[in-house]
Amino acid sequence: MADQPIIKLHDGNMMPQLGLGVWQASIDDARNAIVEALKVGYRSIDTAAIYKNEEAVGQALQETDVARDDIFITTKLWNDDQQNGQQAIETSLKKLQLEQVDLYLMHWPCPEKDTYVDAWKKMIELQQQGLAKSIGVCNFHEVHLKRLIDETGVTPVVNQIELHPMLQQRTLHAWNALHQIQTESWSPLAQGGEGVFDQDVIKQLAKKYSKTPAQIVIRWHLDSGLVVIPKSVTPARIHENFQVFDFRLDKAEVSEIAKLDQGKRLGPNPEEFNG
């Protein structure tokens, strides 16, 4: 197995820098994908209550020979449950067949609902109860993060945000880093690479390193200090996405990819999404 990089979170816990996402995967597809990924060498799996496939993670963990302590499991508190965190995590843990998740994330701030601070206070309690090793958020902007920190004194370890070459969110990434919050990229390949894989710089780098465009983009995330969770249920792509530890992009190449930023969102704007 390739030596994969591990990130140390500010609470002292360790997280693999590359993981498998299972958004929009059915239970069967997700289970098969996770079993395959664990065989390949992945040690981080990212799911969520709203994905409706937490059961798949639990099933895969029962099938694999990899020790539980070697696998990093992330799931998320959905928006409708922000005022019901205790039951939400207990339901997730039952589906996952686990006593504890490694990382529990609040999925969206939903600013109009204005319950995210109370939800965060509950997540702090859940961590103290031992139900989650680490706690963090998804899709939070600086204003939301600052309020959490100011009102609770507890800083999220991770902020998982939409991030790919067409939407690089460098200001938010820098703010996270300044506050020791690890930035994690969702939709890191821009949902299939449309508009990214055909860019000249990506194609040129793929040729230079004898890699695929997807591998170049994943390597760009890694070399930018991001945690990255490409989603796939296709065995060949699961393998391909993991074959990224035998090369690195240099600073000039990372900077060239940075020029692709268009501020182009594929998902909702956290300032406006309250679903």
Tokens 């591998």 appear where?
215
Compute CA distances 43 → 11, 17, 207, whole Å.
Answer: 19, 10, 29
Contact indicator for 134, 9 with CB cutoff of 8 Å: yes
- The 3-class SS string of the chain reads CCCCCEEECCCCCEEECECEECCCCCHHHHHHHHHHHHHHCCCEEECCHHHCCHHHHHHHHHHCCCCHHHCEEEEEECHHHCCCHHHHHHHHHHHHCCCCEEEEEECCCCCCCCCHHHHHHHHHHHHHCCCEEEEEEECCCHHHHHHHHHHHCCCCCEEEEECECCECCHHHHHHHHHCCCEEEEECCCHHHHCCCCCCHHHHHHHHHHCCCHHHHHHHHHHHCCCEECCECCCHHHHHHHHCCCCCCCCHHHHHHHHCCCCCCCCCCCCCCCCC
Residue pointed to by tokens 């965190």: 85
Active site (annotated) includes residue 116: no
Catalytic residue among 42, 51, 104, 116: 51
Residue 107 marked in a binding site = yes
Q: Binding site for substrate: which residues?
A: 107
- Active-site residues, by number, are 51
Q: Binding site: which residues?
A: 107
